[in-house]
Amino acid sequence: MKTLSLKLDDSIFTETEQVVHRLKKTRNRYINEALLFYNRLQRKRILSKKLEFESKLVQEESMKILTEFENIDEYDN
């Protein structure tokens, strides 16, 4: 486990202390869980942006292929 020195805004520290007291958790455990949650959230956001970017890269080609498939249906009738 790594040791970390952390400076918090007074208001964040006060609120955190109130929450950990009510949850009956240690401050360390609470901050670890909070960072785990936030890291997962950020990974999802990063993946979402990457997928959006890559979708835009193939959008034009996908539309061309879709048009070709639509034209194939016209020939079958």
Annotated domain spans of the chain: 10-76
22-64 confidence digits (pLDDT tens): 999 999 999 999 999 999 999 999 999 999 998 888 888 888 8
The count of other CB atoms within 10 Å of the CB of residue 48 is 10
| Contact yes or no for 30/16 (Cβ under 8 A) | yes
Q: What pLDDT is attached to residue 76?
A: 61
- What's the token pair of residue 16? 């955190």
Q: What is the pTM of this model?
A: 0.68
Distance CA 69, CA 74 (A): 9
Residues recorded for the chain: 77
Tell me how far apart the alpha carbons of residues 62 and 54 are, in angstroms, rounded to a whole number. Answer: 12
